Amino acid sequence: MGISEKIKEIEDEMKRTQKNKATEYHLGLLKGKLARLRAQLLEPGPGSGGGGGSGFDVSKSGDARVSLVGFPSVGKSTLLTKITKTRSEVAAYAFTTLTAIPGVLEYEGAEIQVLDLPGIIEGAAEGKGRGRQVISAAKTSDLIVMVLDATKKLEQRTLLEKELEAVGIRLNREPPNIYLKPKKSGGMKINFMSPPKYLDEKMIYNIMRDYKMLNAEILVRDENATVDDFIDVIMAPNRKYIRCLYVYNKIDCISKTYLNQLAREPHTVVMSCELDLGIKDVVDRVWEDLRLLRIYTKKKGSAPDFSEALIVRDGSTIEDVCDQIHRTIKERFRYALVWGASAKHSPQRTGLNHLVAEGDVVSIFTK
Ligand SMILES: Nc1nc2c(ncn2[C@@H]2O[C@H](COP(=O)(O)OP(=O)(O)OP(=O)(O)O)[C@@H](O)[C@H]2O)c(=O)[nH]1
Ligand SMILES: [Mg+2]
């Protein structure tokens, strides 16, 4: 039996099984098995020549990567053509785009790579169409822009989310607050910070045993953690927590009332590429959600250079700033002077570990 058939079999069994006290452990085990199989599906198989899991052959460039993901004909290529200098073919029929088309979005001195991807359909995670490649490409991005057709049913969003979930992408979520450390010996030590609502020792033990992990230290820090969260922690190398912006296109074709309803949803922007409405909002939100920081440098004795910013990710340190300036500069690093929001006083003398903030001015002193 192939992996896809095994997945189908487990999914069917889960659908058949009624949820109650007597079946919950069995259902937990099935969830664990399903997660394992889905991960296998993305691994390149022997002799499969790259496998279903590898994305499209586009190298990363710029300061961040954004993927446009959505069903066919929702307007992904139209959006790419609007916000970058790249032209991607637009047409009224489905599957116009057949491969990943990269464009560059320039924003406040940053260069953001935007990937226009082929449309995906239900079953993409299981390999329908170019689904697996599309999702693998999306998995490498810093932000997913889910382009949706405002004239279509709301379920389209849930369907797409399910496809992304199935390959280990977690949208707009933080990793579960569960500590798990595999050990060489000593058995299983399971602890809870406070009584969990949806997990217990037996459930965790059963799933761990099914994964052939018999020696481990586990601490559940979140009382709301679920079986799915626990499986995500076991499968951590395979999970990717990515922010997602939902973009509803074609609002030229819907009522004002419905438009207002859509626009109020969290992580959502509405637009019409046709009427050139809301495109700037989309770009602004992409920038916000990427949470990139602009850092300016200053040479000793001269004014800060505000003409060109260094772009770093949220949570970056002086070390990351050094890496942006030059590959080897941190080897000669003595100290930095920092002016701005991250500095306790201006300037603050710091080491490599200092966390920078948006708009900081930094001087690096080397040996
Ligand atoms: N009414 C309306 N039509 C639009 C809008 N934006 C795009 N379209 C039309 O929608 C159709 C599909 O647009 P594409 O950009 O090719 O869609 P896509 O998502 O890239 O499609 P695939 O590459 O097949 O996945 C084209 O006929 C566009 O002209 C819009 O804001 N309003
Ligand atoms: Mg397209």
311-354 residue pLDDT tens: 999 999 999 999 999 889 999 999 999 999 999 998 999 999 99
Say if ligand 1 is within 6 A of residue 129 CB.
no
> Residues of CATH 3.40.50.300 domain(s) within the chain?
64-173+239-290
**Model pLDDT for residues 233-273, shown as the tens digit of each residue:** 999 999 999 999 999 999 999 999 999 999 999 999 999 99
The secondary structure of residue 149, as a DSSP letter, is E
**Nearest listed ligand to the Cα of residue 150:** 1
Rg, C-alpha atoms of the chain: 24
Q: Counting beta carbons within 10 angstroms of the beta carbon of residue 2, is it exposed (0 to 12), middle (13 to 18) or buried (19 or more)?
A: exposed
Q: Whose CA is nearest to atom 12 of ligand 1?
A: 73
Q: Is 133's pLDDT higher than 50? A: yes
Please say if the pLDDT value at position 167 is more than 90: no
In words, the CATH class of domain 292-366 is alpha beta
Determine which residue's CA is closest to atom 16 belonging to ligand 1: 90
Q: Which atom of ligand 1 is nearest to the CA of 93?
A: 24
Torsion, Cα 115 118 122 127, to 10 degrees, reads -90
Confidence band for 65, pLDDT divided at 50, 70 and 90: very high
pLDDT band at residue 19 using 50, 70 and 90 as cut-offs? confident
Q: 52 pLDDT exceeds 80?
A: no
User: Residue 329's pLDDT is what?
Assistant: 92
273 alpha carbon – ligand 2 mean position (Å): 13
* Fold designation for 64-173+239-290: Rossmann fold (3.40.50)
pLDDT in the model for residue 1:
77
47 pLDDT tier (thresholds 50, 70, 90): very low
Average predicted confidence (pLDDT) for the chain: 91
> Ligand 2 centre and the CA of 131: distance in Å?
14
Report the separation in Å between the CA atom of 63 and the middle of ligand 1, taken as the mean of its atom positions.
27
Task: Give the pLDDT score at 132.
Answer: 80
> What is the b/e burial string over 99-133, where b = at least 16 CB atoms within 10 angstroms of the residue's CB?
ebbbbebebeebebbbbbbbbbbeebbbbebbbbb
pLDDT at position 70 is 95
Whether the predicted pLDDT of 51 surpasses 50: no
Query: Which of the two residues, 122 and 173, has the higher pLDDT score?
Result: 173
Compute the C-alpha angle 146/147/150, nearest 5°.
125
70-121 per-position pLDDT tens digit: 999 999 999 999 999 998 888 888 888 888 999 999 998 899 999 999 988 8
Residue 133 beta carbon below 6 angstroms from any ligand 1 atom: no
CA–centroid distance, residue 32 to ligand 2 (Å): 35
Q: What is the pLDDT, as a whole number, of residue 54?
A: 59
- Name the segment(s) of the chain with CATH classification 3.10.20.30: 292-366
pLDDT band at 39 (very low <50, low <70, confident <90, very high): confident
Share of the chain above pLDDT 90, in %: 74
What pTM did the predictor assign? 0.88
Pair 69, 144: CB distance under 8 Å: yes
